[in-house]
Structure 1
Amino acid sequence: MTDAADNTEESLTRDYSHAWRALRHGNFRLFFGGQSISLIGTWMTRIATSWLVYRLTKSSLLLGTVSFAGQIPTFLLAPFAGVLVDRMNRRTVLVWTQVLAMIQSLALAALTLTHHVTIHEIVWLSVFQGIVNSFDMPGRQAFMVQMVEDRADLSNAIAINSSMVNMARLIGPSLAGLVIAATNEGYCFLIDGISYIAVIASLLMMRLPALKAKRAVTSMLEQLKEGWTYVAGFAPIRTILLLFALVSLMGMPFVVLMPVFAAQVLHGGAHTLGFLMGAMGVGSLISGLSLVLRKSVRGLTRMIPIAAAVFGAGLVAFGFSRTLWLSLVLMLITGFGMMQGLTSSNTIIQTLVSEDKRGRVMSYYTVAFVGMAPFGSLMAGALAHSIGAPMTVMISGVAVIAGAAWFWTRLPMMRREMRPIYIELGIIPPDVEALLEDAGGN
């Protein structure tokens, strides 16, 4: 009996040991530790900012406006930031973005705790944070490959990173709800500002291989054009980015309306908002862990439209809900679908893209994922002001489902272009029989 139990335990350990293989890289372990702390603070700030805006204004339109102000810099600047990321030391870029983000959070904390904060300061500090994010997001995505020397572990690192983000999404909002209920939003901003010290320290402690200086032989505009031509001409990446531009425009802005659902639809307070965001975090975390357990990127392409359809259906059902327990269940489903599609698309793009264009491609990924959101936030705020938050979210869900259906029709064409790269990387075997077996599963 004991031998059998030991054998079973050993088998389970062996079967799941691949799930955390990216953590064998020391630099990624440092990143994981620093980010785990910092992201909790980031999510606390996101919830505290939306609740502060709603408390000061009671306006869903201004909720959308503040979100627009914080995200529009990404739409305008991310492509140029991607060129700089391909030219500069990526760790240096990230250290500076973290320092500037810390300053922004501490400034917001000081204004809120001294009761001098107004909607104008929130808007301008949101713009500042948006400028920082324009450089931070493509830099962070492109830096991933430097922290994980073995490219075979890259997809696992992305999945672990997703799980880390979602664990923070689970803890941060719930903690923010408790802090706001006990004190005020300013302490959430203060905690966030202090938490940046962890990720800055982790970046400085990394031991990275010396890279040759990237001497630019063409102008920034020519490099920008080269990145755009690559993205527009490569069907798999182009199709993924088009879907997520639609999802970001129509689907993601539902988060902006969460204070309205918490206060008006479900008749709760800051703690209700924390519960809703926490439930979405649970769904996202489950999604991230399911991807951590994957041994290969094969099958992820088909997962993208399925996940988008789940996300859209969750939004439609959430719009109908008027009870807290049902809304929490639907937020869990919505969070799962949203993160499953997002992480799968990130993994595929990171696997396919050539290294010399990684920063620029990930900048367009940032534009698709974050850059379209400000227009969606503004539209969602205006629609909610006109027809109500529930109807707005339902319309958003229908649009996302339509996008998922369109993506599904593009899968055969995408697989044809992806197979040669997957063969070169050793992801799928080169013989014809294996290709035929794989016809339904890239």
Structure 2
Amino acid sequence: MIFKMLRIGNFRYFFLSEIIYAFGVGMSTVGANWYLMDQINSTTAVGVMLALNVIAGFLISPLIGTLTDRLNRKTIINWTYLIQAILVFGVAGLFILDEFKIGYLYFFSIVNGMGWTTYMSTSRSLLQEILSEKDFINGNSLIEISLQVGMFTAGGISGIFYQIAGFEIILIANSIAFILSSLLISRVKLNSVIKDNKDESYLASFKDGINYLLKRPNVFFIGVVAIIPLVATMMYNVVLPEYVYDSVVGSSIVFGVSDMFYGIGGLLSGFLAAPFAMKFSRNRSVIILFLVSISFLFALALNTYIIFLFLGSLIFGLCNSSLRILMNTTIMEMVPKSFMGRAMSVWMAISLMLQAILSPGLGALIDRFSPGLGFRILSGLMLIGLVIHLMVIYMRSNRTKNEKKYQTKNTI
């Protein structure tokens, strides 16, 4: 049973910290999207807000990846949470003391982008240190559960909370959540991995991380496959507000509940991904999950019913989160701990660059045509992920054949 993992004290604190952090991020993200739509009714503006989020993360990712492989990962996460808490509380104060200004939301988005990138690069590296290799898949499953519990409860509550209390109170709750997460992560007792590159400059250390991936194309493309579902999820957040507003004619509550169903799907993935991979093999499971996700996203493009939006969000969340569990487990098995932070930062940089390019364009296309087009584009993005995964399987198969031929030749 995967919940036996919670007997490990360090992992338990890490797990609880992730739930609360995800709750805070989920509430503020859903609230910010709807608040912006409520004020100026522009999907383009939502896309720009997300673009600022990812550009900020992109710019900081090389530094964070290098720091993650040189400094104590727990300390980096702890300070990230505390700084985010202070800045988000400051943004709440600006909205309370002043009227709506889109610049405040853009600043909030930049803060979130830097915080989320630091969290993604560092937390997975810390998780790799906390767990033994045999526990990777169960650990990743539980972490996905923790994220989705936080996200789907936030999504369900955010729409209601927004109408009753307003966006300012959501931001204050977000700040409190970050402080609680910091207190929990500080309880983790761990001597971080000793690095063998302390005398290198930061630039040389980052170049070593890039060279590590360039010399191992299989590992690099596995990481690319892993970020496709993450990019698709971010794009989903751009498409969803206008889709709820226009295609299914819903309210902020429908928007929040849709996000909640995505989270429920992610929660289920924590229980189902590992058994599913054991039954069909990891590679086949990834192929099946991509195909199901592609199909439902395309179906959502044609949909006008709220109930099917909830079902589609559930399936999309289940498939995307399962893909992340399986691919992150593969990455942890293949990438040495001393390179994990830099490798994650490279993949995060690619993910953020894709989001920065796609978000404004996607928002503009939705404003000009229809939200259904957004789901067609998402379906195409997942198809690209499937094609890259099949390419990786082919490359690994050829490599295995060549190694066998080489061994046979040497034996003869």
Structure 1 length normalisation: TM-score?
0.84
- Report the counterpart of residue 333 of structure 2 in structure 1: 351
Separation (CA, whole Å) in 2 of partners of 1:297 and 1:216: 44
Structure 1 counterpart SS, 2:186: helix
Deviations 1:148-187 (A, max 9, x none): 2x22212211110011111122111101011012121111
What does 1:2-81 align with in structure 2 at a 5 Å threshold?
17=1, 19-81=2-64
- Report the counterpart of residue 133 of structure 2 in structure 1: 151
Separation (CA, whole Å) in 1 of partners of 2:123 and 2:52: 22
The question of whether the paired residues in 1 share the 8 Å contact of 2:46 and 2:238 is answered with: yes
What does 1:9-408 align with in structure 2 at a 5 Å threshold?
17=1, 19-148=2-131, 150-209=132-191, 212=194, 216-244=198-226, 252-291=234-273, 293=275, 299-408=281-390
The question of whether the paired residues in 1 share the 8 Å contact of 2:57 and 2:116 is answered with: yes
Would the alpha carbon gap of residues 396 and 298 (structure 1) be closer, same or farther in structure 2, given more than 3 Å must change?
closer
Amino acid corresponding to residue 327 of structure 2 in structure 1: S
Separation (CA, whole Å) in 2 of partners of 1:398 and 1:295: 24
Separation (CA, whole Å) in 1 of partners of 2:261 and 2:357: 26
The question of whether the paired residues in 2 share the 8 Å contact of 1:27 and 1:206 is answered with: yes
Separation (CA, whole Å) in 2 of partners of 1:144 and 1:89: 13
Separation (CA, whole Å) in 1 of partners of 2:400 and 2:20: 37
The question of whether the paired residues in 2 share the 8 Å contact of 1:74 and 1:371 is answered with: no
- Report the counterpart of residue 13 of structure 1 in structure 2: none
Would the alpha carbon gap of residues 115 and 404 (structure 1) be closer, same or farther in structure 2, given more than 3 Å must change?
same
Separation (CA, whole Å) in 2 of partners of 1:400 and 1:340: 14
Amino acid corresponding to residue 377 of structure 1 in structure 2: S
- Residue 251 of structure 1: how far off its partner (Å): 6.5
Separation (CA, whole Å) in 2 of partners of 1:306 and 1:418: 24
Deviations 1:177-224 (A, max 9, x none): 110121211111111111122211112222213654765232222222
Amino acid corresponding to residue 298 of structure 2 in structure 1: V
Unpaired runs of at least 5, structure 1: 1-16, 420-442
Worse-matched range after superposition: 279-288 or 229-238: 229-238
The question of whether the paired residues in 2 share the 8 Å contact of 1:236 and 1:417 is answered with: no
Deviations 1:48-103 (A, max 9, x none): 01011111111010000001101112223212311111011111111110011112
Pairwise CA RMSD: 2.5
The question of whether the paired residues in 2 share the 8 Å contact of 1:248 and 1:368 is answered with: no
Worse-matched range after superposition: 244-253 or 311-320: 244-253
Separation (CA, whole Å) in 1 of partners of 2:268 and 2:135: 20
- Residue 271 of structure 1: how far off its partner (Å): 0.2
Would the alpha carbon gap of residues 249 and 165 (structure 1) be closer, same or farther in structure 2, given more than 3 Å must change?
closer
- Residue 104 of structure 1: how far off its partner (Å): 2.6
Unpaired runs of at least 5, structure 2: 402-412
- Residue 273 of structure 1: how far off its partner (Å): 0.3
The question of whether the paired residues in 2 share the 8 Å contact of 1:21 and 1:156 is answered with: no
Structure 2 counterpart SS, 1:134: helix
Separation (CA, whole Å) in 1 of partners of 2:238 and 2:372: 13
Worse-matched range after superposition: 262-271 or 229-238: 229-238
Structure 2 length normalisation: TM-score?
0.90
Amino acid corresponding to residue 262 of structure 1 in structure 2: V
Separation (CA, whole Å) in 2 of partners of 1:177 and 1:418: 51
Would the alpha carbon gap of residues 146 and 297 (structure 1) be closer, same or farther in structure 2, given more than 3 Å must change?
farther
Deviations 1:120-171 (A, max 9, x none): 11112211222233322211111112222x2221221111001111112211
The question of whether the paired residues in 2 share the 8 Å contact of 1:251 and 1:397 is answered with: no
Separation (CA, whole Å) in 1 of partners of 2:128 and 2:232: 31
The question of whether the paired residues in 1 share the 8 Å contact of 2:81 and 2:178 is answered with: yes
Separation (CA, whole Å) in 1 of partners of 2:227 and 2:26: 23
Separation (CA, whole Å) in 1 of partners of 2:93 and 2:265: 34
Separation (CA, whole Å) in 1 of partners of 2:138 and 2:118: 24
Count of paired positions: 402
Amino acid corresponding to residue 119 of structure 2 in structure 1: D
Structure 2 counterpart SS, 1:156: helix
Structure 2 counterpart SS, 1:205: coil
Amino acid corresponding to residue 360 of structure 2 in structure 1: L
The question of whether the paired residues in 2 share the 8 Å contact of 1:64 and 1:256 is answered with: yes
Deviations 1:208-261 (A, max 9, x none): 136547652322222222211211222332222333555555664122121111
Structure 1 counterpart SS, 2:178: helix
Separation (CA, whole Å) in 1 of partners of 2:77 and 2:85: 12
Amino acid corresponding to residue 225 of structure 2 in structure 1: L
The question of whether the paired residues in 1 share the 8 Å contact of 2:53 and 2:113 is answered with: yes
- Report the counterpart of residue 413 of structure 1 in structure 2: 395
Amino acid corresponding to residue 162 of structure 2 in structure 1: I
Structure 1 counterpart SS, 2:249: coil
Amino acid corresponding to residue 217 of structure 1 in structure 2: D
